[in-house]
Amino acid sequence: MLELRILKSDDWPLWRELRLAALAEAPYAFGSTLAQWQGPGDREERWRARLSIPGAHDLVALLDGLPVGMASGVPGEGAETVELISMWVNPTARGKGVGDCLIQAVERWAAERGATTLRLSVMPDNHTATALYERRGFTDTGEPGDLLPDGVGRERVMAKSLAAA
Ligand SMILES: CC(C)(COP(=O)(O)OP(=O)(O)OC[C@H]1O[C@@H](n2cnc3c(N)ncnc32)[C@H](O)[C@@H]1OP(=O)(O)O)[C@@H](O)C(=O)NCCC(=O)NCCS
C-alpha cells in the first residue's frame, strides 16, 4: 500500500534519513551534495529549517509502511508558480508509481493554493526523471537553468500548466 505523509519540522529525522540516502544514491540528480549535508552540515536546526520554508509542502511516500520516497513543493517566483524539488524514490521501490504519486500530490496541493504553473529543474542527462516529467505533462521551457559544476552545461527547466491539468 502506498501512502503519503506531509512532514512538519519535528519530522526532520525522517527527512534527514531519506535526503542523505538520496544524495548518496543519486548524486548526479541534485544541485546539493552529500558533503554539504554531512559532518558540520548535518545539524538538527538546518534540517528543521529545510522543513520550515514558508508555504512549502514536504512529502514522504511510504510503501507498505516503509519510507521510500520524497518530494517538496515550494513557492516559486510570484504567487502563481510553485517549484517541485527534492524528488527521489529508493531504487527498491522504483517503477511502481511512487514518483507519479508524489508529483500528482504536489500538483494537487499547488493547484489548491492557487498556483497555475508547476516548475522544476532537472539535470540534462537525467533521462529517467525527464521521461517521468514528460509523461506527467511537463515540457521544456527553453529557459537557461542553473549552471552545472562543469561551468558549461545548465539544468533543464520544465513546467506544467496546472490550469490545464
Ligand atoms: C525519477 C524517479 C523519482 C522516478 O521514480 P519512480 O517511483 O520510479 O517513478 P514511477 O514509478 O512513477 O515511474 C517510473 C516508471 O515506472 C512505470 N510505472 C509507473 N507506475 C507503475 C506501476 N504501478 N507499476 C509498474 N510500473 C509503473 C512508469 O511507466 C515509468 O516508466 P517510464 O518512465 O519508463 O515510462 C526515480 O527514478 C529517482 O528517484 N531517481 C533518482 C533521483 C532523481 O533523478 N530525482 C529527480 C531529480 S530532478
CATH of the domain at 92: 3.40.630.30
How many domains are contained in the chain?
A: 1
Q: Which of 18, 127, 128 to mutate to test the pocket of ligand 1 (most atoms within 8 A of CB)?
A: 128
DSSP 18: H
CA distances from 62 to 44, 66, 70, 99, 112 (A): 23, 5, 9, 12, 23
pLDDT tens series, the chain, 165 aa? 999 999 999 999 999 999 999 999 999 999 999 999 999 999 999 999 999 999 999 999 999 999 999 999 999 998 899 999 999 999 999 999 999 999 999 999 999 999 999 999 999 999 999 999 999 999 999 999 999 988 899 999 999 999 744
53 Cα to the center of ligand 1, angstroms: 26
Position 165 scores a pLDDT of: 46
CA–CA dist 112, 136 (Å, integer): 18
Parent domain of 152? 2-161
Residue 60's beta-bridge partner residues? 5, 70
What is the atom index within ligand 1 of the atom nearest the CA of 121?
A: 48
- Give the predicted TM-score (pTM) of the model: 0.94
Which atom from ligand 1 is nearest to the alpha carbon of 132?
A: 33
**132 CA to middle of ligand 1, Å?**
6
